Amino acid sequence: MLSITKGQVIQTALPQPPKPGLSAEAFAPSNIALCKYWGKRNAELNLPVNASLSISLGDLGSRTQIQPADEDQVWLNGERLAPESSFSRKVISFIDLFRRGLQQPVRVDTQNTIPTSAGLASSASGFAALMLVLNNFYQLNLSTQQLSAFARMGSGSASRSLFNGFVEWHKGHRDDGMDSFAEPLSQTWPGFCIGLLKLCTTEKKVDSRAGMQRTLESAPLYQAWPTQAAQDLQTLKQAICRRDFTRLGETAEQNALSMHATMIASWPPLLYWQPESVAAMQRVWALRAQGTEIYLTMDAGPNLKLLFQEADRGAVMSVFPELQAVDIVAPFD
């Protein structure tokens, strides 16, 4: 049986032709998963093996503009990219899904406030912002669930970057993936802090898409991952409801390290860590042993994200003076 394509899903959901406007602009925050998404049940539609849960990074993310042009142009952080570049091809291919043969070139300008392709979820915020501007530019009038489901087709984690605060991405069960979308949790958590420890900001040699596929195909440890992820998700949601920081931190850290363990057990081995990553982990564990409640999480890259509470900010910053603390924004009303 042939799998459903992105174009077919969008054509079904949007039977009317697009109606381009003059311009559009939107911002989307990056997000850090506390329960990771790793592995796809459908690579074409970016449908995940497991549900996941994240926290958004406030004003760190992507701002994107789109407007008509003489030819397709993709700009990133003030620089025009070559049409054959990987970034340009991904952006234009995504736009093609929605303009559906419309002969109108566009210029897309994206400004990232986080490093691109360095394991800091820039693709998530990038495709979420792009989806928002396409919705406005082509007057698609999509629902929030549709926006999330379509953003997921560009980058899985983009489904979560449409929202602030804690966000759950449902894995869904339908073949067309339209029940695989994210939505924000209602709970807020004053005093919850997250910090970015940027150890390496160069582009990854193995992107997340390729890394997921390698892990799924070759890592024996991966068989246990979906069950653990499902359990971790429920534990994290309970911890958020109860504001149980210890439970949340322990679960998020173990979830991240378990995900990386499946990568290391794949073949060829996939290790995103750098020596600086391991050294930073040791600093986290030493600080925790001294009584400061701090935990770490990591996406598919060498950089750490540290979880701590406002009361411990001083102790954390004394050990990690290079840390970029993030102001967490409450969910939208």
Q: Where are the beta strands (DSSP E) in 146-221?
A: 166-169, 182-184, 192-197
Tally of domains in the chain: 2
**pLDDT at 333 (0 to 100):** 34
Degrees, nearest 5: CA angle 106-111-116 = 110
Same domain, 13 and 93: yes
Same domain, 218 and 176: no
Class of residue 143 by CB neighbours under 10 A (exposed 0-12, middle 13-18, buried 19+): exposed
pLDDT tens-place string over residues 76-88: 999 999 999 999 9
Class of residue 212 by CB neighbours under 10 A (exposed 0-12, middle 13-18, buried 19+): buried
pLDDT band at 311 (very low <50, low <70, confident <90, very high): very high
Domain end position, chosen among 164, 184, 204: 184
Domain end position, chosen among 184, 204, 222: 184
**pLDDT at 119 (0 to 100):** 47
Same domain, 196 and 276: yes
Please give the Cα distance from 239 to 234 (Å, whole number).
9
Flag whether 333 is in a domain. no
Same domain, 122 and 212: no
135 has a pLDDT exceeding 50: yes
Same domain, 291 and 234: yes
159 has a pLDDT exceeding 50: yes
Same domain, 233 and 215: yes
User: β-strands 182-184, 192-197: how paired?
Assistant: unpaired
Encoded amino acid at 45, one letter? L
Same domain, 158 and 217: no
- Residue located via tokens 């406005």: 136
Same domain, 103 and 12: yes
Q: Please give the share of the chain, as a percent, with pLDDT higher than 90.
A: 86
Which residues form the domain of 224?
Answer: 192-326
pLDDT band at 332 (very low <50, low <70, confident <90, very high): very low
Q: Work out the average pLDDT over 278-283.
A: 98
**Residue 298 corresponds to which tokens in the numbers above?**
């990591």
For the chain, what is the mean pLDDT? 93
Give me the helices (H) in 2-55, please.
Answer: 6-13
